[in-house]
Chains A and B, each alone.
Chain A
Amino acid sequence: MTRGRFAFIIGCIGLLIGGAEVLRSPDVSASIVAASMLATMLRFATPLTLGALAGLLCERSGVANIAIEGMMLSAAFGAFIGAAVTKSLLIGVLAGMAIGVAMATLHAWLSVSLRVDQIVSGTVINIMAAGITGFLSTEVVRRQALVGAGLLPALRIPVLADLPVVGPVFQQQPIAWVALVLVPLTHLVIFHTPWGLRLRSVGELPRAAHAAGINVIRTRYTAVMIGGAIAGIGGAYFTLESVPAFEPLMTNGRGFIALAALIFGGWTPAGAWAASLLFGAANALHINAQQFGIPVPAQIVGMFPYLLTIVILAGVIGRVSPPSAVGTPYEAD
């Protein structure tokens, strides 16, 4: 993640929010628009950040992960059931993490142990998550009439949360705070600890890592499973922070957008977070356009993040390259 790219992303976010300010209908005050844009952006970015961090750990260890969507969806369901049965939101989050780890273990077993094509394995998990959560939600939730246990309360930082425009930044729900903490934490772990170095070496050149005495298979398992736990927190966001109910397919492709954020951010935590915010800002413009009379075709704005991801992947503005061993199963001799 170069500084240039980071500045580019921040600039794009500024452009989107500034655009909303300039184009808003004159009878809405500027501070309301800015506050609403910020709040929507942060809300949308939370699951993306967590999903992208999950994918980051996975892909840095050399396992391609298009299964973030499936992991988050099943974790959303697990979190809902866990919270609804025990009436404890904390247990709900833990249940979501457990389901996320379970799906991640399946991904690791398929793609690391059985050496199934990693994209196929991810596809299997996505289809499986959609099928099983859809089936169980109709069978279990409707028959036993489970009611959600409510939403996690917002935690506010006393004085800062009362500031006029940037208030929403300091008044967020716990999972959003967790996401914000995990970004620097993941950065530290991946780039400044021995385990992180091993993880990256396994993702770049597994044979050399093996020769250096690193257990490639175990490192990949660990990375994928920690990623699953983070994706699980991201999934819990949907049923414990966003709406207190589970609906089939409620992640609605956020896992794939998280993947895009990961690539956009050049496989770094800070980059992935910035990209998540950018995607969040584009979504905020999309959502607020009608309310504030902003005359932009919302869908065209909504396309930009995806188009930018394609452009960046194609190397037109600054090249990003994935860890070299992504997609290649490792076979110990």
Chain B
Amino acid sequence: MPARSRPTSSRPRAENRSRRWAGPCIAGARILTLPARRPLWVCRAGFIGREGVLTVTQAVRARLIGGLIPSLAIVTALLIGGVIIWASGPRLDGPWFGIWFVVEAYQALIEGAFGSRASTIDTVLRTVPYVFTGLAVMVGFRGGMFNIGAEGQLAVGALASAWVGFTVTSLPLVIQLPLVLLTGCLAGAIWGGIAGLLKARTGAHEVITTIMLNYVGGQLAAYLLNGVLRDRSPLNVIAQTPKVAETARLPDLVPGLHSGVILVIGVAVLVWFVLWKTTTGFELRMVGINPDAAAYAGVNVVRRMTWAMGASGMLAGLAGAVQVAGVNYRSTLGFNVGYGFDSIAIALLGRNTVSGVVLSSILFAALRTGATKLQFRTQISTDIISVIQALVLLMIAADQIIRWIYRIGPAQTEADPVAASTAPVADSESGR
């Protein structure tokens, strides 16, 4: 076995200690000992932090520091993006030596994302699939699996749900809509679960298998959308399914905004609950941090890995189903392209926490929605957003850069699921 740098044996303990809420401690056999001379109410309103029991203020501060690096990365990326915008504008000839141009550009970006009712709804509509796919990648990371296949899982989810949506026409909405969504989940779960099962049983690296499954999914979609699932109406000229039945569509919450927004909130809470409040979630995170230790502790690693990728694929498939049932009402060839990498960026920026994923999804959706107005007003290509995203991701991945720029001390030894995601790889390739 190759020498591993980090002392992996200490990871589960570190993870256990970083649980903040003093809620029911599930599988961790940690006994809460209260420091002396501290009024009891502090414990009630307190948190278990790295240093034992924290007061509310201390816990809030810990949270803020946790979000500090992502925030600084965003700010820095926007600043560098500003320099790029400045360089593509009138430069020194503009008012304020061209700085005003940058201000106007960012103003247009914000207006484009939140300036009117319609644009805000647009941003929210874009946020929904980002949250689902971001959570998908996050669940994978927490289970030690790097899911690059959200794109393919989303595609098969959308295909399956569209198929059920337009072939079944005689059911009432309360039955058909859940059926459509669940079919999408199931298809995605199968697509992701294959990669999980292969990883757990044979050691086939999930990064490669999910990339391959993306292509298989893409070809399958091309085959079906040009064949049996194609919309045969004479007006249709592209590879897409017919529109789904009225009873397979998510009803509007307000005009233009489908009720998938409520679903996404529910799913986010559910993911948080399952990962942090159930034995399954605890075992999953344990496998993600150190599969050997988890196996030693009696966790069925094969089952948990499959479960992690299945759940991950399920969330991505649900993203596809919600896009079909709420936005497009059909599945079109290639509409899934781009979600795979965006979702990885979202999960990494969100530090693999549910709240982080939701916040980064809103950010990415706002940037993408606002970019149109930015291009309209300043003639700067919408691709500037991809550049800013790439910069954010670069600085998140290598947080040494941010720590160096802003003179922040070295990282705490917090359990890092991203770093841990490579650990099982090394093991399966050298050991078994």
Contact = CB atoms under 8 A, between A and B. Distances in A.
Interface of A: 64, 66, 110, 114-121, 123-124, 126-128, 130-132, 134-135, 138-139, 205-207, 248, 253, 256-257, 259-260, 263, 297, 299-300, 302-303, 306-307, 309-310, 313-315, 321-322, 324-329, 331
Interface in B370-406: 380-381, 383-391, 393-394, 397-398, 400
A314 B383 contact: no
30 contacts: A66-B207, A117-B418, A117-B419, A117-B421, A119-B421, A120-B348, A123-B393, A124-B390, A124-B393, A124-B394, A126-B341, A127-B390, A128-B393, A128-B394, A130-B390, A134-B383, A134-B386, A206-B3, A207-B2, A260-B208, A260-B212, A299-B220, A299-B226, A302-B219, A306-B219, A310-B209, A315-B202, A325-B2, A327-B426, A328-B426
Interface in B175-211: 198, 201-205, 207-209, 211
B428 to A, nearest CB: 10
Residue in B5, B204, B205, B421 whose Cβ sees the most chain A Cβ within 10 Å: B204
A117 B141 CA distance: 12
A64 B425 CA distance: 11
Contacts of A310: 198, 204, 208-209, 212-213, 216
B146 A119 contact: yes
Contacts of B203: 315
B397 A124 contact: yes
Contacts of A300: 219, 223
Given A134-B383, A315-B202, A207 B426 contact: no
Question: Which of the listed residues A135, A207, A248, A300 has the most CB atoms from chain B within 10 Å of its own CB?
Answer: A135
**Most chain B CB within a 10 A radius of its CB, from A128, A131, A260:** A131
B239 to A, nearest CB: 10
Interface of A is mostly: helix
A59 B88 CA distance: 38
Interface of B: 2-5, 84, 88, 146, 148, 198, 201-205, 207-209, 211-213, 215-216, 219-220, 222-223, 226-227, 341, 344-345, 348, 380-381, 383-391, 393-394, 397-398, 400, 418-419, 421-422, 425-426, 429-430
Contacts of A257: 215
Contacts, number: 159
B334 to A, nearest CB: 12
Contact of A314 (B3, B4, B198, B421): B198
B383 A256 contact: no
A235 to B, nearest CB: 18
Given A300-B219, A310-B204, 7 more contacts: A132-B386, A135-B384, A299-B226, A310-B212, A313-B202, A314-B204, A315-B204
Contacts of A64: 207
Given A124-B390, A207-B2, A297-B227, A313 B216 contact: no
Nearest to B337: A249
Given A127-B390, A309-B208, A303 B202 contact: no
Given A119-B146, A314-B204, A127 B393 contact: yes
B226 to A, nearest CB: 7
Contacts of B418: 117, 120
B190 to A, nearest CB: 14
Contacts of A259: 208, 211
Nearest to A131: B386
Contacts of B213: 306, 310
A328 B2 contact: yes
